[in-house]
Amino acid sequence: MKETDSGVCVKGFSACGVKEGKKGIALIVSEKEAQCALMITENKVKAAPLIVSKEHAKGKVRGIVANSGNANAYTGEDGLKDAKHMCEIAAGELGVKAEEVIVASTGVIGRRLDMEVISKQIKKVSKTLSGKSECSLAAAKAIMTTDTKPKMVSVKTTLKTGEEVEIGGICKGAGMIAPHLNHATMLCFLTTNACVPKRKIKNALESAVKQSFNMTVIDGDMSTNDMVVLLANGTAGNSDIDGNFQEALDYVTKELAKKIVKDGEGATKYIEVRVENAKSEADARKAARAVVSSNLVKTAVYGGDPNWGRIIAAIGRSGADFDPAKVSLYIEDVCLVRAGKVLAFADTPELKNAERAIASKEIKITAELNAGEHSATAYGCDMSPEYVRINAEYTT
């Protein structure tokens, strides 16, 4: 497996985007019908485009249209009409059917889309579609809201049967990130030229999302618009997928997830939490997410305070089954607690070394529960006063 700069413009796909002020449009198009897998937020309030896309994803798909600047969420029947209209406009420009288009939105909740602007931007972007990497980058920029940088990852890998396949993706997300996608606002669009049988594409995406986006937390708020979609158009010529494909898809989603948390609203530090030796995978996941979700942990990391008690407390309330007297805890390679015995008291070398470690821009926390053989990793960031400022001024 090797990284490329294709983004979503892997072979057989083209894309582009435009951003004008706070409003943008991105288009991604497959040269032939593609199998589609879609995962959406579990938030009870689901944005109109998610409802429309859930129906469209039942069949073959030819493209994706996404807008930024307006979430088209909590907009009732009018919002559904606008989401369908977006599909119709895009389909007309691309020469496909409206039901072959996935639609996504991100931005402010509760406002109607400006369909005149949407229409103009879709028509503008449709004339600039290309398979060049810079067009994938343009699409990634078009869907940004409070993001400070575009997010794009792609790879090539060789299947065990010898065919080379490509997988690429773009995503956006910097705040309102605590995805729990149904089996981050986070939007992720993935493309592959591999043939992925219909019976396998959903499981492949769910598996990748489980260890990436569903282990990503910035602020603990689940969006109304979270969506991950995978399009597979089969132009690579393979007939099936194997473990090499899944490994590559997992890599793409994990790297995109890391890019999201590193660009978290107001974030100054990246946090990676690894929970090892848990009784079950579910316990490992619960414990890891609890730590990256904790505002007390996040603010301590921002302040450079190795307050290990907050980490232990977060694990304790996670619902994971473990014996506190057996836990070991590390910040980087500094052991703060070993098998329930506290090492990092005031003025100890352990505490001083932990203070140096937590001053870094990227911090790894490891908790050994010593209750079993399962592990999980969660991704997050610190919380700074800038996060408050950004969200206090969001709609203005």
H helices of the chain, where? 48-56, 76-94, 115-126, 133-142, 198-210, 243-262, 281-293, 295-302, 308-316, 349-358, 385-392
In the block, residue with structure tokens 């607690």 = 337
Among residues 41, 145, 185, 366, which one is catalytic?
185
Distances in Å between the Cα of 186 and the Cα atoms of 67, 183, 302 are 13, 16, 23
In the block, residue with structure tokens 């810079």 = 134
- CA dist., res. 87 & res. 53, Å (int): 9
CB 200 within 8 A of CB 242: no
CB 369 within 8 A of CB 327: yes
3-state secondary structure of 350: helix
Distances in Å between the Cα of 258 and the Cα atoms of 93, 171, 254 are 34, 11, 6
CB atoms within 10 A of CB 22: 12
> Exposure string (b/e) for 295-330, b if CB count within 10 Å is 16 or more?
eebbbbbbeeebbbebbbbbbeebebebeeeebbbb
Burial class (CB in 10 A: 0-12, 13-18, 19+), 13: buried
- CA dist., res. 134 & res. 153, Å (int): 13
In sign, the C-alpha dihedral spanning 139, 142, 143, 146 is positive
CB 272 within 8 A of CB 212: no
- Nearest Cα to Cα of residue 249 among 160, 153, 339: 153
Annotated active-site residue 41? The verdict is no
* Cα 169–Cα 114–Cα 85 angle in degrees, nearest 5: 70
CB 221 within 8 A of CB 265: no
- Residues annotated as catalytic (active site), given as ranges: 185
